[in-house]
Amino acid sequence: MAKDKKLVEGITSMDVDFAQWYTDVVKKAELCDYTSVKGCMVIKPAGYAIWENIQNELDRRFKETGVENVYLPMLIPESLLQKEKDHVEGFAPEVAWVTHGGLEPLQERMCVRPTSETLFCDFYQKEVHSYRDLPKVYNQWCSVLRWEKTTRPFLRSREFLWQEGHTVHATEEEAEARTQQMLNVYADFCEQVLAIPVIKGRKTDKEKFAGAIATYTIEALMHDGKALQSGTSHNFGDGFAKAFGIQFTDKDNQLKYVHQTSWGVTTRLIGAIIMVHGDDSGLVLPPRIAPVQTMIVPVAQHKEGVLDKAYELRDKLSRQFKVKVDDSEKSPGWKFAEQEIKGIPTRIEIGPKDIEANQAVIVRRDTREKIVVSLDEIETKLGEILETMQHDMLEKARAHRDSHTYDATTYEEFVETINNKPGFVRAMWCGDQACEDKIKEDTTATSRCMPFEQHQLSGTCVCCGKPAKKMVYWGKAY
């Protein structure tokens, strides 16, 4: 049965205009929408359900590593924001200021949190006295506000949802270990659950977080060859501790500064799912993150027994899977198109002839493969199909990323590649920010990260020719 043309025609082909395709998918899949509040989105049920699954899965993984959740205020007094020099320089230009409470002007204005390092420091300063109080491994799920000039659904909006972990440790080593541990949690989550392969690495000083001594990142490649920073983990050393006076008495009875980390991922991950897995028919959700894993579509549902069989199937499959029946008055073709637009991983078509033959047809969203299965073994088969699909989606994304990753050893080759071949370009770098600046000016590309997995592509910096220090992933980024 043909998909309904009208529905699909609402989505621009991704090869024609990727940005428009993205906006169309966000809209058609009913993930989010614009509001009367400029630069802020409403996240609709289909979008929020994905975020809830991200939260549940990540939160479980966090807690397995000893993370505890807390909640700190959404407002930051200006004097608190200003305590750490680099941090305030990084964030002051993009915060929103509250100046009046009720009918009165405030004595000191406060910003809506763009991130909560300063609040956590203020809190830890009061909480931490002895080595017995350490470590503290806290996280909060909340929204933050950054006054961005240009915005795009999920990728960049003035308000977004995220989690921010903030930890304090007795030693430098422990802080560094936690920073890397959380990066690994993010990387595993992206690969295993979102089916998005990521490059793990360290940001250059130019690209690191305001106030951090080291920022680690996971970088993903979108279908259009642009990079998306998908999660970051920062080691602050004792910089914030010194600015906020967070000291503890160690076992040796010496007063010492703590070492701190922070790490976060945002609703931007939903944008990554769309841009890594989506196609011209709409969203494609990896089974492990999909709010609905299979949509049962009864065919000729007015015929006796068809709907009953569909409900029976739903009840049976619900024990193991997230299942819905589309029993609306729409035509099967329309329902197929809707299931595809919304990215539901599989649909199960079942009509009178299927029932007679004690079978149903499972259709994979990603490959559109149709698999006829006996109703006697449909639970097992559906489980296998979803697992295969999850695996195939990761491998497809990995293959796409790998086939769009290029090496360059001369500047000419570098510029030529980065401007004409969408994807990552790997090239050696001398460590000098001037080269990053020049590359950005010449090509708009930025250093995405110095990957943990290094290769010696050549001995010299691709930009200035001086001796190279690190291999860097470069790319044009969201």
Q: Does 98 bind a second copy (CB under 8 A)?
A: yes
Q: Does 245 bind a second copy (CB under 8 A)?
A: no
Q: Does 48 bind a second copy (CB under 8 A)?
A: yes
Q: How far is the CB of 55 from a second copy (least distance, A)?
A: 10
- Give me the residue label for tokens 């549940």: 56
Cβ nearer to a second copy, comparing 113 with 476: 113
Site track for a second copy across 154-193, x = CB under 8 A: ----xx-x--------------------------------
Q: Does 35 bind a second copy (CB under 8 A)?
A: yes
Q: Are 215 and 204 contacting, i.e. CB atoms less than 8 angstroms apart?
A: no
Q: Are 408 and 424 contacting, i.e. CB atoms less than 8 angstroms apart?
A: no
Q: Does 338 bind a second copy (CB under 8 A)?
A: no
Q: How far is the CB of 45 from a second copy (least distance, A)?
A: 4
Q: Contact with a second copy (CB under 8 A): which of 12, 23, 27, 44?
A: 44
Beta bridge partners of 373: 360
Q: How far is the CB of 468 from a second copy (least distance, A)?
A: 38
Site track for a second copy across 76-95, x = CB under 8 A: xx--x------------xxx
Say how many residues touch a second copy, by CB under 8 A.
Answer: 50
In 3D space, the residue among 391, 315, 386 whose CA is nearest the CA of residue 345 turns out to be 386
Query: What's the CA dihedral at 171, 229, 60, 130 to 10 degrees?
Result: 20
- Give me the residue label for tokens 């709010």: 291
Torsion sign, CA atoms 154, 156, 159, 161: positive
Taking residue 281's Cβ as centre, other Cβ atoms within 10 Å add up to: 20
Q: Are 155 and 478 contacting, i.e. CB atoms less than 8 angstroms apart?
A: yes
Site track for a second copy across 118-147, x = CB under 8 A: -x--xx--x-----------x---xx-x-x
Q: How far is the CB of 66 from a second copy (least distance, A)?
A: 11
Q: How far is the CB of 376 from a second copy (least distance, A)?
A: 31
**Structure token digits, residue 475:** 């790319």
Contacts with 163 (C-beta within 8 Å, 6 or more apart), sequence order:
55, 58, 59, 62, 139, 140, 141, 142, 264, 265
**HSE-up of 275 (CA within 13 Å, CB side)?**
29
Query: Which chain residues interact with a second copy by CB under 8 A?
Result: 33, 35-37, 40-45, 48-49, 51-52, 68-77, 80, 93-103, 110, 112, 119, 122-123, 126, 138, 142-143, 145, 147, 158-159, 161
